[in-house]
Amino acid sequence: MNIVVCVKYVPDATADRRFESDNTVDRVGVDGLLSELDEYAVEQALQLKEKAEDPTSVTVTALCVGPEKAVDAVRKALQMGADEGVHVSDEAIAGSDYIATSLVLAKAVEKIKADKGQVDLVMCGMASTDASGSVVPAMLAERLGLPQVTFASVIESQGDQVRIKRDGDTATEVIGGTMPLVMSVTDQTGEARYPSFKGIMAAKKKPMETLALSDIGVDAGEVGLSVAWSEVADTTERPPRTAGEIVKDEDGSGATALTGFLASKKFI
Ligand SMILES: Cc1cc2nc3c(=O)[nH]c(=O)nc-3n(C[C@H](O)[C@H](O)[C@H](O)COP(=O)(O)OP(=O)(O)OC[C@H]3O[C@@H](n4cnc5c(N)ncnc54)[C@H](O)[C@@H]3O)c2cc1C
């Protein structure tokens, strides 16, 4: 069984994030990491492997499309326990929208399939932590001609059958599918593991492939900002946080002042 987990490299939310002069996200000059929501997808892929009758027959491949530094996202997935890594990196990809990103991911999955045989499961996070589109998994399924089961909070699998729980606002659906399929998982699936020291050392020896667009049969003219269907016209920095209001309790009136404040903000 082959599982491909799509892992995105995103700007670190705790770092100083910036836009480029063309309003694209600065993905090169800012520290980045594996999107936290994709750690859940890696975790679930690893759990499927561990629960398999013969875990050695399951290969988990971490796939990332992104700039040179994005290899760090693949490395983290390898440190967590993924078996192999594929990093698609090409200058022409910069500024790609969902449509181009899903094209590159789909072609990379097809390349993995051509090299290794059937890809049974393509797993994604529920959204990236930067653009938060939540649409790439559906686009990927469409491009690969595969069924999709999205926003899984619980995953069960037996043979080629998969059942997920999908929590909505008013009901939880149980959805079944037959592999091969595309699945996205939510942050409700359970804590993602931390890489162990052993895992970090082992990752150094795991196979890692770096591919350019030409390796996966994508023309540079099909991707990038110039063919994006949407464009960020302008960006404005958030105003700095204002100082909060401090309620002092010097004469015993603190509690009244506090409830008055909360009531004025309609918190109570
Ligand atoms: C209005 C708008 C304008 C934008 N303009 C720009 C721009 O000018 N320049 C720019 O660089 N970006 C831009 N973006 C962001 C860019 O479109 C997205 O980063 C990209 O298309 C993927 O979408 P997403 O991250 O929202 O994916 P989602 O659909 O939220 O991702 C879901 C899952 O798909 C997988 N996935 C998504 N992307 C990757 C990836 N690259 N590698 C591996 N797995 C992946 C992950 O598993 C992820 O959890 C823009 C976004 C918006 C909303």
pLDDT per residue as tens, the chain (268 positions): 999 999 999 999 888 788 888 888 887 788 899 999 999 999 999 999 999 999 999 999 999 999 999 999 999 999 999 999 999 999 999 999 999 999 999 999 999 999 999 999 999 999 999 889 999 999 999 999 999 999 999 999 999 999 999 999 999 999 999 999 999 999 999 999 999 999 999 999 999 999 999 999 999 999 999 999 988 899 888 888 888 888 888 888 899 999 999 999 899 9
Predicted TM-score of the model (pTM): 0.89
Which residue's entry shows tokens 């559906």? 138
Cα angle, residue 26 at apex, residues 142 and 128 outer, rounded to 5°: 35
Give the Å distance between the CA of 9 and the centre of ligand 1: 10
Measured from the Cβ of residue 91, the count of other Cβ atoms closer than 10 Å reads 11
Helices 136-144/98-116 angle, 10° precision: 50
Strands 32-34 and 9-11 come out as: antiparallel
SS3 assignment, position 114: helix
The token duo for 149 is: 């089961």
Ligand 1 atom nearest the C-alpha of 97 is 17
Give the Å distance between the CA of 249 and the centre of ligand 1: 48
- Backbone φ, ψ for residue 116 (5° rounding): -115, -5
* Residues with C-beta less than 6 Å from any ligand 1 atom: 6-8, 24-25, 35, 37-38, 41, 63-66, 95-98, 101, 105, 124-125, 127-128, 130-137, 225, 230, 232
Measured distance CA(42)–CA(219) in Å, rounded: 29
Give the Å distance between the CA of 251 and the centre of ligand 1: 54
Q: What is the model's pLDDT at position 128? A: 94
Which residue's entry shows tokens 């390796």? 215
Give the Å distance between the CA of 252 and the centre of ligand 1: 53
